[in-house]
């Protein structure tokens, strides 16, 4: 029985790992780049992103734990042997984690937009797969989908309004 609280802790912390690393990339580029590009006036303030993403990472980790418990003999297993809902979870968390280095690190707005659209699809598929195993786990993805819709819309408008950054830093470097 003591095994489950430890596995719950691991499940909740796991998604935050990429969020923390992404926060480092983001913080290095807020003042030098992000504050200087054109953004919609309806965007959330910069300070809101950290707490919201922390909540979302923790809730998606908890959702994955609930789904993991739904399988007959949950255990640590190779990725290839994971049930489909958990493979989808890993896909969406990977896509989530790589958006930040693409957007803030590479400053490639087109690639970030394409990537976040793939993330949207993966999150919706994961939420539905989770719902089919555990309704609470599926419902835990609803705030994630809502926030991701905002993030996708924000990414689109930043892409549209900042043409010199559409293809990343190499596009800008060639113009100087």
CATH code of residue 42: 1.20.1260.100
Cα separation, 2 vs 7, in Å, equals 9
Residues listed for the chain: 176
Tokens of 18: 């990429």
Q: CA angle 119-149-63, nearest 5°?
A: 65
Whole domain around residue 84: which residue ranges?
3-175
Tell me the whole-structure pTM to 2 decimals: 0.88
Domains of the chain: total:
1
Give residue-wise pLDDT tens across range 3-20: 457 888 989 999 999 988
What is residue 138's three-state secondary structure? Answer: helix
Mean pLDDT by 10 residues, the chain (176 residues): 71 92 84 91 94 97 94 72 93 97 94 98 98 98 98 97 84 50
Task: Calculate the alpha carbon distances from 74 to 19, 33, 67 in Å.
Answer: 26, 45, 10
68/37 Cα distance (integer angstroms): 42
The tens digit of pLDDT for each residue in 70-95 reads 986 666 677 788 899 999 999 999 99
In sequence order, what are the residues at sequence separation of 6 or more whose Cβ sits closer than 8 angstroms to the Cβ of residue 27?
Answer: none
**Alpha-carbon span 76 to 73, nearest angstrom:** 10
User: Contact 140/148 with Cβ under 8 angstroms?
Assistant: no
Taking all residues of the chain, what is their mean pLDDT, rounded to a whole number? 90
Q: Where does residue 146 fall: left (phi above 0), alpha (psi -120 to 50 degrees), or beta otherwise?
A: alpha
Question: 5 is written with which tokens?
Answer: 């609280």
């Amino acid at each position: 029985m003591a095994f489950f609280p430890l596995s719950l802790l691991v499940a909740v912390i796991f998604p935050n790992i990429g969020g923390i690393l992404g926060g480092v990339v983001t913080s290095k580029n807020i003042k030098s780049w992000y504050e200087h590009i054109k953004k919609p006036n309806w965007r959330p303030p910069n300070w809101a992103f950290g707490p919201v993403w922390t909540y979302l990472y923790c809730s998606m980790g908890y959702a994955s734990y609930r789904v993991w418990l739904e399988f007959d003999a949950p255990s640590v297993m190779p990725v290839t042997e994971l049930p489909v809902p958990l493979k989808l979870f890993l896909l969406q968390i990977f896509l989530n984690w790589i958006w930040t280095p693409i957007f803030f690190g590479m400053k490639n707005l087109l690639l970030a937009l394409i990537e976040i659209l793939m993330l949207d699809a993966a999150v919706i598929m994961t939420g539905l797969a989770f719902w089919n195993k555990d309704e609470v786990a599926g419902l835990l993805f609803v705030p994630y989908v809502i926030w991701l819709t905002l993030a996708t819309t924000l990414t689109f408008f930043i892409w549209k309004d900042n043409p010199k950054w559409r293809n990343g830093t190499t596009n800008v470097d060639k113009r100087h």
